[in-house]
Structure 1
């Protein structure tokens, strides 16, 4: 189109939409108000994307460029009957054959969002705007009714969806074949805008986006102007600068990945119905967690990251040894079998998902030269489990 301006700004391609989409435009305005904002400006409802200028009580202002798509619960032939369907459709069918890049504010002031809207259920479905750029016009995207309903019940529900290539796109949209999806109610609309703004500015991958979104389930982001994390204040750096330093130094990135794995493990242990108490040690030369089950059993857990490369038999593997040995004692690099009871292996490096497998050290291979020590590399066999409470001696 020749006229590409919204709110006096050029935002790439602007589409003319029919009056049947006016309810989506109004839904977005109502969502701003329901989430504590005031609409200072709303672009023409007959055009997409929708631009909203929003002010909060804190005097924070957010510019939102929103691509809204309708979601329906109609039965689709050859599809499961427990799905909600959204359709990415702007422009003529003939135009769908070319690329449709997602518009962005080059200055990074405004945030771009792609959302499916279930007007009947009163739920929005947030898609990663970076992952869905360019927009694959003419295709459908799906979520389970249970996922949408969970979003309605809790106001904010996060999950990972498998992403595969198709006839129009040979490769998966995500390098890990997983994408983070958020179902949320209008009362959390501004929270989602903040999530998208932070994920975009920091360039979060799917695993970190998932962690950031999960962290907001019960704790929305604070008003951002003037709010700084304690490490930002201590280091006198922005969060993006800190992340850039980490990503540019391999040993730092590995250490942080280990810390993130421990964080996810701790959260999962706290939420496990069979766990009575979790204590994270954070002490040199000690295991990572002391866990007491409701059965009364006490378990010492060491958290490790799986190798991204599988064994020749296709199994995951994990390195279970220390970084270095003590001088004059070659056995000191290898863990004694009695050092801890269980190894919790995070599979993120192999699968892109923060999932764990638990194995008893008493059943692991011993070192070929030191019989009281664990072998440095362990295969994750059928004796390992994804549920700590089912792990048997």
Structure 2
């Protein structure tokens, strides 16, 4: 255990749930999760594992799904001109630039050898989503992205599409993360409401730190949250969001706290009507109206609000680890940062509009580590926050 982390009280394992920190370490020791180079402690999160880029990237003509073939068969060709998918190969060991709007495929250093009782799912890391980098895990003989079937044994590949900024990456960088699941894990609406009674899951984003009342809590196969276009005060200069600039420099993912935000982002001031017109195919960073908490025995995932499907993508990165906005119980919630990209038509949104939904999952057992500074977590007490590559 890392210095500064607390051992939580053990409980009897549940029949189904997401595998926590200590179970992930056991899977690594048992070589259920393997890697070409040793898995580092920094990769293991309270309920997820950071996956690392391998040594090569392939520039693709398009995205694809390998429902009927192994991915390696599409990459091992002598003449890429004869390929219907791959344009060229890139070496990542010394770093390489991935241009925006292009599709890349990177074999990851990690691979899986899951038993039939375990499945897995992947999601971009928060930092990846806030840079408007679209990523999805692909596995052999699979008709879907990010969902890895029970019993899968084989390599992992990451599809990467930078949307707003060109990025510089290298071998060992982590752009996405993996959760391992056994059996049913999702907490039903009745369970969410019961949990909120004992350990409030939502707080109003006001200085008084009042929890959302049960009467105000909206659930329907998950917990609904709203968008904040009002900001912290009524001042005319209140920034309620950011919009990515069309043309900017490369973002080197190795450089933390390095870039001036105004070189890449346009701040969005609060409108007099607390509204915002979202333009098609622009990328926005916004924040939630409420502050969310994830108690130690649970994990959460942001999912699309069905009414917006097809018109508006409200997130890229969706995993919340145990302890997010909660710590050991002392934190009164953390705002959720939203990565927003409208499609097809302009959309007018208002302060307090229902914008996304969070699904809670139970862990198989309480984790021995929770989200926070002891694990080097970047966004525990965030407000409206850009990725960690930009100066505060």
Name the TM-score, length of structure 1 as normaliser.
0.27
Q: Which has the higher contact order (CA 8 A, sep 6+)?
A: 2
The structure with the greater share of residues assigned to helix is 1
Name the TM-score, length of structure 2 as normaliser.
0.27
Based on CA coordinates, which of the two structures has the bigger radius of gyration? Answer: 1
